[in-house]
Amino acid sequence: MPAPAKIDLRSDTVTLPTPGMRKAMARAKVGDSRRGEDPTVRALEERSAALFGKEAGLFVPSGTMGNLCAVSTWSRPGDVIVASSASHIAGREGPAVSHMASVAILGIDAPGGIFSAEEVAQAIAATPVRMESKVRMVTVENTHNAGGGTVFPLAELKRIRSVCAKSSLPLHIDGSRIFNASVASGASPASYGKVAGSLMFCLSKGLGAPVGSVLVGARDFIAEARKVGLRVGGGMRQAGIVAAGGLYALSHHVERLAEDHENARALARGLEEIPGVEIINAPVPTNIVLFRWQAASAGLPFFREAIAPSGVLVDDRMFPLFRAVTHLGIGKTEIARALRAFREVFGRGKRS
Ligand SMILES: Cc1ncc(COP(=O)(O)O)c(C=O)c1O
């Protein structure tokens, strides 16, 4: 029997370019991007800046590089930056940011990664006392990945921006999934851009492009950030081929994120009905479902072996905690198949 088609729920980074996107990429006009001569990269940067109401944009290969360019541009060695303690900047990117931008990260513990303006004010006030240094920038992650795709309320972002403004600090938004936030909340990309001194968003996650992120901000800021990107090897050449995938995604893959959110909620509803399964981030805000399996005796090796024949892939690195992410490769049929597999495996695991 042929193996069943994979249902890959590990992340929204696993999306493959659609035929329409591949066509757009094949047709892209290109030039030497490092010299500023690639018309497609320039078009993507200009369109991104306009979308968020900013003066300029910088196309970079990854979200990690976009965040690093922002942190390095806003701060100086020895400074402190504020972030949620479970954020991507503090966690996965923390060692690189500490090493390459030479900053310390002050993490705020907050449910779902959503902290308040008061917590930011406290962090700013306490830092010179606690850390012999000063906060130089504040970052928020929207949506918040580890928090379970939580949406940072725009009203709170405005209050945080006021707190930052009182201390002349920039607010950087790690908006890897800002379009998920926008579609879920109804707040426009420009409204998020308005509260942020800089904002980075990813084309290669829910938007389904193969490569890239864009950092947007004021013209001077982006000129400095571009230098940081070049210093760390971010200079690309005929990058219009991949930028074209990003432009296509902005035209065709934004509104459809609502389907991913609906599919994530359907997955959560089905999982909730399985005895011993608990949804951690109910009600599921966007495209990420976090759930726990109270497996009495069955362990990770059992789970991996039992789920493998179904073709379902899920992030099980924190077993018995799981993360499942919906994206443009997942439709209603895949959700139904995944639920059948989870029902069967979790049912069997309970008995074993
Ligand atoms: C919230 C967040 N920020 C930044 C990144 C880094 O993006 P990249 O993998 O493109 O470097 C990720 C990646 O998953 C992320 O989830």
Domain of residue 268: give its range.
256-351
Same domain, 104 and 236: yes
Query: What's the 65 CA to ligand 1 centre distance in angstroms?
Result: 9
Boundary residue ending a domain (211, 228, 252): 252
Same domain, 261 and 160: no
Residue 262, both tokens: 């609906």
pLDDT tens by residue, 163-198: 999 999 999 999 999 999 999 999 999 999 999 999
pLDDT at 162: 98
Tell me what the pLDDT averaged over the chain comes to.
96
Contact present, 89 and 130 (Cβ < 8 Å): no
pLDDT at 352: 55
Residue 229 inside a domain? The answer is yes
- Domain count within the chain: 2
Same domain, 248 and 280: no
Boundary residue ending a domain (224, 252, 280): 252
Same domain, 111 and 172: yes
Given a cut of 70, the residues of the chain with pLDDT beneath it are 1, 296, 349-352
In angstroms, the CA 308 to CA 9 distance is 13
Same domain, 230 and 127: yes
- Which ligand 1 atom is the nearest neighbour of the CA of 204? 10
Same domain, 234 and 103: yes
pLDDT tens by residue, 1-26: 677 789 999 999 999 999 999 999 99
Boundary residue ending a domain (252, 272, 288): 252
Q: Which residues line ligand 1 (CB under 6 A)?
A: 62-64, 67, 88, 141, 145, 174, 176, 202, 204, 213
Query: What's the 55 CA to ligand 1 centre distance in angstroms?
Result: 24
Same domain, 326 and 204: no
pLDDT at 129: 81
Query: What's the 191 CA to ligand 1 centre distance in angstroms?
Result: 22
The CATH code of the domain that includes 320 is 3.90.1150.10
What residues contact residue 105 under an 8 Å CB cut-off, 6+ apart? 80, 81, 82, 83, 89, 90, 94, 97, 98
Same domain, 92 and 230: yes
Neighbours of 234 (CB within 10 A): 21
Same domain, 148 and 287: no
Query: What's the 62 CA to ligand 1 centre distance in angstroms?
Result: 7
